Amino acid sequence: MAGNLRWKIVLIVFALIIIDYIDRGLINAALPVLKSEFKISSFEAGIIGDGFTFGYLIMNPLVGYFLDKYGPKRVFTRFAILWGAVQAINVFAFSAFYFIVTRVLLGIGEAVGFPGVTKIVANWLRKDEKARGGTISDSGVNLGIVFGSLFMLGLFAIIPNEELAWRLGFLVSGFLAIILAIILGRLLYDLPEQHPKISKEELDYILSGRDSSTGGVKLQLSSWFRNRNYWGYMQGLGAQAGIFFGLFTWLPLYLYYARHFSLSFTLEYTAVIWSFGFIGEIVGGLVVDRLVKNNPNLGFKIGFAVSSLAVTIGLALATIASSPIEAVEILMVTFFFLRWSGIQWAAPSFLVPPELTGQFGGHVGFWETLWGIIVPIVFGATVQATHAYLLGMEILIGIGLIYFIGTVVVTNYRLIKVRRD
C-alpha cells in the first residue's frame, strides 16, 4: 500500500486555508466594536471589510507565476508567513487607515492560497486523486468562516475588555498561520521525487498516475486569450465566486431582515448552512474523482453541472419559500452543491501542463476576485434601491446560469495549447 505523505501535505494546506478564512472573517466579526472604538465611518468599514480583495486581485496572477518559477515550497511558505505576520501586527492597530493598509497587505499574502493549492495538487496527486485534493483544501473555506465568527464571539464572551479581546484574536490567528506555514515548509517539496523521506511505494504510486511533464513550456498569453476553454472556465468560475461572495456578504443580513430571524438564530443558521457546504465539498471531490478516472472531460462537466444547476434551482426555490425554516433548509442543500465548486482547483491539471498550473490558478483567482468584488456591490445597490432582498437573490440566480454555461457548455477539459521552447 502506498504511503500517505501527500495527504499529510494536503491536510496542512487545508489547515492553512481554514486560518486564511479565519483571518479574513475576524475583522467582520470585530467591526461593530472597532467602529465605535476608532470612530470608523460606514464607508471606511466597507473598505476595511473588502480591503483584502484589492491586494488579492493585484497579486493573484503574479503569485501564480512565482509558484511556477520558484516552486510551491518556497513561495507558499513565505507568502503564508507574510500574511500571518500582517494579521498579527493588527495587535498594534490605532486607526481606520491602519486597518485599510493591513487588509490590503493581508490580501497580497493570502493570494498564494488557491494558486498554491492548484500547484500542489498538480505536482503531488494522481489524476484520480486531484478532485479530492482540491476539495479537501478548498473546504477549509467553510470551516474558516464558521470558526472565525465563533472564535471572535468566544473571545468577547470570555474577556470582558473588548479591546483586549479583538487584539488577542488577531495575534493568535496570525501566529497560527506562521506556525502552519513553517510546518508546511519543512514537510513540502516542490515535487514528490525530490522529497528525501517519501517511500518508494508512494512515489511509484504517484508517478504511475500523475500528469507527465511536457518540458520547456512557455506561457503565451495570447494563445490562452484566444481559447474558448480559458474564457469559459474563467467566467464560469468567476460567476460561481460572485454567488459565493454575494452570499458570504449578504446571507446573514438576508436571514435577519428578509426572513426575520433573531440575531442568535441568524448566526446559528449561517453556521449550519456553511457546514453543509463543507460536507458537500468533500462529497463532491469523492464523486468527481471516480468520474474523472474514466473520462476527465465528462467527469468535470458532470461535477460542475450538478453544482451550477443545483445552485440556480436552489436559490430560485429559496426566494419563493413561504416559511423561513423552509428557506433555510433549501439553502442548506444549495450550499451542499455550491461547494462542489472546489473541484475547480483540480481541473487546471487537465487544462494546462503541470509547469503552468500555478499561473492558471492565479488567473482563476484574479477573475474570481473581480466577480467577488462586483457582485456583492451590485447586490447591495439593489437592496439600497428596493429596500428588499428579492432582486439581489434573482440576480444571483441569473449568475448561476452563467456558472453553468461557462464551466459545462463552453469548457472542454482538455489541454490548452501553449508554446514550447
Give residue limits of the domains in the chain: 1-210, 214-421
Q: How confident is the model at residue 212 (pLDDT cuts 50, 70, 90)?
A: low
Is the CB of residue 317 less than 8 Å from the CB of residue 256? no
- Residue type at 57 in one-letter notation: L
C-alpha cell at 365: 483567482
User: Stretch 183-204: mean pLDDT, rounded?
Assistant: 93
User: Stretch 152-159: mean pLDDT, rounded?
Assistant: 82
Mean pLDDT of the chain: 88
The distance from CA 107 to its chain's CA centroid, rounded to whole angstroms, is 12
- Residue type at 138 in one-letter notation: D
Q: How far apart are CA 340 and CA 303, in angstroms?
A: 7
Q: How confident is the model at residue 2 (pLDDT cuts 50, 70, 90)?
A: low
Is the CB of residue 131 less than 8 Å from the CB of residue 303? yes
Predicted local distance difference test score (pLDDT) of residue 108? 93
Higher-confidence residue of 193 and 257: namely 193
Predicted local distance difference test score (pLDDT) of residue 226? 85
Q: How confident is the model at residue 415 (pLDDT cuts 50, 70, 90)?
A: confident
Q: How confident is the model at residue 105 (pLDDT cuts 50, 70, 90)?
A: very high
Is the CB of residue 81 less than 8 Å from the CB of residue 110? no
Q: How confident is the model at residue 214 (pLDDT cuts 50, 70, 90)?
A: low
Predicted local distance difference test score (pLDDT) of residue 219? 60
User: Stretch 68-76: mean pLDDT, rounded?
Assistant: 93
Largest CA distance in the chain: 63
Beta strands in 45-192 (DSSP E): none
User: Stretch 163-175: mean pLDDT, rounded?
Assistant: 91
C-alpha cell at 344: 475547480
Q: How far apart are CA 297 and CA 414, in angstroms?
A: 7
Q: Which segment, 61-65, 158-162, 307-311, 378-382, is predicted with the most confidence on average?
A: 307-311
Predicted local distance difference test score (pLDDT) of residue 3? 74
Higher-confidence residue of 252 and 131: namely 131
Q: Do domains 1-210 and 214-421 have the same CATH topology?
A: yes
Predicted local distance difference test score (pLDDT) of residue 239? 97
Higher-confidence residue of 117 and 31: namely 117
Is pLDDT above 80 for 355?
yes
Q: How far apart are CA 26 and CA 48, in angstroms?
A: 11
Predicted local distance difference test score (pLDDT) of residue 88? 94
Lowest mean pLDDT among 29-33, 126-130, 230-234, 330-334: 29-33
The distance from CA 310 to its chain's CA centroid, rounded to whole angstroms, is 19
Classified as helix, coil or strand, 305 is helix
C-alpha cell at 39: 470612530
Predicted local distance difference test score (pLDDT) of residue 293? 85
Cβ-based neighbours of 293, under 8 Å, separated by 6 or more: 127, 128, 299
User: What percent of the chain has a predicted confidence (pLDDT) above 90?
Assistant: 52
Q: How confident is the model at residue 218 (pLDDT cuts 50, 70, 90)?
A: low
Predicted local distance difference test score (pLDDT) of residue 117? 92
Report which of 380, 382, 406 is spatially closest to residue 240, judged by C-alpha positions: 406
Q: Which of the following CATH numbers is that of domain 214-421: 3.40.50.2300, 3.90.190.20, 1.20.1250.20, 1.10.1760.20? A: 1.20.1250.20
Is pLDDT above 90 for 261?
no
Report which of 134, 147, 117, 137 is spatially closest to residue 24, judged by C-alpha positions: 147
Is pLDDT above 70 for 221?
no
Predicted local distance difference test score (pLDDT) of residue 215? 53
C-alpha cell at 144: 474558516
Q: In the CATH hierarchy, which fold is given to the domain comprising 1-210?
A: Growth Hormone; Chain: A; (1.20.1250)
Predicted local distance difference test score (pLDDT) of residue 418? 64
Residue 211 has φ and ψ, to the nearest 5°, of -60, 135
Is pLDDT above 80 for 338?
yes
Q: For residue 260, give Cα distances in angstroms to 73, 270, 316, 384.
A: 48, 14, 19, 18
Higher-confidence residue of 221 and 27: namely 27
Please report, in angstroms and rounded to a whole number, the separation of the first and last CA atoms in the chain.
39
User: Stretch 289-298: mean pLDDT, rounded?
Assistant: 90
Report pLDDT digits (tens) over 389-399.
889 999 999 99
Q: How far apart are CA 224 and CA 418, in angstroms?
A: 8
Classified as helix, coil or strand, 99 is helix
Q: How far apart are CA 187 and CA 12, in angstroms?
A: 9
Is the CB of residue 210 less than 8 Å from the CB of residue 403? no
Per-residue exposure over 214-226, b if at least 16 CB sit within 10 Å of its own CB, e if not: eeebebeeeebee
